[in-house]
Structure 1
Amino acid sequence: MTSKLLLQAIGKYVLGLLLFGVLLFVPAGTAFYPNGWLLMAVLFIPMLIAGIILIFKNPSLLKKRLNAKEEEKEQKSVVVCSGVMFLAAFIVAGLNFRFQWFLLPNVAVIVGTVFFLLAYAMYAEVLKENTYLSRTVEVQENQKVIDTGLYGIVRHPMYSATLVLFLSMGIILDSLFSFGILLFYIPIIAKRMKNEEAVLEEGLEGYKEYKSKVKYKVIPYIW
């Protein structure tokens, strides 16, 4: 662990907190937006715990996860589309609360929160299984194909986890409109995976064989 990595991790964490706060509470017109605080709690508390564990147990993986600069041209458009989607979803959620457009029943929020936490646990398991898991699309030096655990079920379990995470955000925020906006994550990750698999097939030995062995990308028997 280096002080530079620690400062980078702290900086991105604090920036994320501030950005989420602005995007949620300014459109809501108040800091008393309970669902906004709920999302920030279930998102940032586990993130803090995971970050602390990675700092001491696997700083190299943390470094990869902090690097979000894509080299692939096609992935840069994916990043932009994702950013626009999240901006719209969070702003609309705040406005939905402010003007009381359409509020979901409490049981829906509870179910959404449960699914979010389960997906977060899956996300953590993926990080444990695949230490090559960079945030950017690339083939790393001495990288090996991971084909056990969750990777023996679907080829992209990280996207399986984030799909549930992101869709449940709209429910946690008590906004059906935000949920609808976050559905755009499906074509976004489809585009990302298409390019990612092309890169892996070209540069990662054994990936073509892995594709023939594990048929599904994100959801068994469906996708």
Structure 2
Amino acid sequence: MRTKLFVEIAISFAVMGALLFGAAGTLAWTNAWLWLLEWSACAVWLGLWLARENPALLAERLKPIAQREQQAWDRVFLACVAFAWCAWLCLMGLDAVRLRGSHMPVWLSVIGAAMVFVDIYATRGVFAANAYAAPVVKIQHERGHTVVDTGPYAYVRHPMYGYALLLLLGTPLMLGSWWGVACVPPMVLALAWRAVREERALAENLPGYRAYSERVRYRFVPGVW
């Protein structure tokens, strides 16, 4: 399983690097190298932690984004997300380097790097609390899927989505692209749409989820939404 983890991280590094540097038209883009290295190092750290603490969840996380048990609408959604993510990386490469359309101070890039790290570090708390945190929307009957209301789930219904907001904003800040930042609001709206659809599926198919959603009011950020 660790071999598969390293292979997937290496492939992701190569694909995202090709998109960023291909759009930029050069390999001389320090911030992109730093972003790729930070993402990869954190992914390795989180993956190895999961391999030790919950290998079943790691196996679930390493499955493809299109699965037979998955909600049909979620397959379409994740395919669109994959395309949008690739297009977003290309856009930031064009903007920040090839066209030089954005000028961002170094301190904002540092803040962006910190946000990316906090997102991945905080995700460990999500995985520690929720052994059913699959990347796709489905009910995991074979794994005894139950409602989780401990850890960050005691405060928001989708803590991983909430933390993902840090990654979505931190990435364009670190890469130095205002065009990338401008894409964040529609991406957040798309994530919110998925959260609402996911809750409907869970309320219909997972015993106790409806009561949980009534007890925990907020989805992403306590006191906000």
Q: Secondary structure at the match of 1:184?
A: helix
Is residue 147–residue 206 contact of structure 2 (8 Å, CA) maintained in 1? yes
Deviates further, 94-103 or 6-15: 6-15
Question: What does residue 88 of structure 1 align with?
Answer: 87
Is residue 36–residue 173 contact of structure 1 (8 Å, CA) maintained in 2? yes
Q: Secondary structure at the match of 2:152?
A: helix
Which of these residues, 203, 206, 211, is aligned with residue 204 of structure 1? 206
Question: What does residue 103 of structure 1 align with?
Answer: 103
Q: CA deviation at 1:80?
A: 2.5
Question: What does residue 217 of structure 2 align with?
Answer: 215
Q: CA deviation at 1:151?
A: 0.5
Question: What does residue 43 of structure 2 align with?
Answer: 47
Deviates further, 153-162 or 52-61: 52-61
List alignment gaps of at least 5 residues for structure 1. Answer: none
Q: CA deviation at 1:184?
A: 2.2
2 CA distance for matches of 1:78 and 1:140? 19
Is residue 85–residue 181 contact of structure 1 (8 Å, CA) maintained in 2? no
Q: How does 1:113-124 map to 2 (within 5 A)?
A: 113-124=113-124
Q: Secondary structure at the match of 1:41?
A: helix
Is residue 86–residue 182 contact of structure 1 (8 Å, CA) maintained in 2? no
2 CA distance for matches of 1:77 and 1:29? 31
Q: CA deviation at 1:186?
A: 1.3
Q: CA deviation at 1:171?
A: 0.8
Q: CA deviation at 1:41?
A: 1.7
| AA of the residue aligned to 1:193 | A
1 CA distance for matches of 2:122 and 2:181? 21
1 CA distance for matches of 2:150 and 2:52? 25
Is residue 43–residue 120 contact of structure 2 (8 Å, CA) maintained in 1? no
Equivalent pairs counted in the alignment come to 219
Is residue 85–residue 184 contact of structure 1 (8 Å, CA) maintained in 2? no
Which of these residues, 34, 37, 50, is aligned with residue 30 of structure 2? 34
2 CA distance for matches of 1:80 and 1:17? 19
Deviations along 1:46-76, one digit per CA (max 9) or x if unpaired, are: 1011112222332111111112224211112
Is residue 89–residue 182 contact of structure 1 (8 Å, CA) maintained in 2? no
| AA of the residue aligned to 2:25 | G
1 CA distance for matches of 2:149 and 2:134? 17
Q: CA deviation at 1:6?
A: 3.4
| AA of the residue aligned to 2:66 | K
Question: What does residue 125 of structure 1 align with?
Answer: 125
TM-score, L = length of structure 2: 0.92
Q: CA deviation at 1:99?
A: 2.2
Deviations along 1:77-103, one digit per CA (max 9) or x if unpaired, are: 211221232122211111121221112
Q: CA deviation at 1:157?
A: 0.1
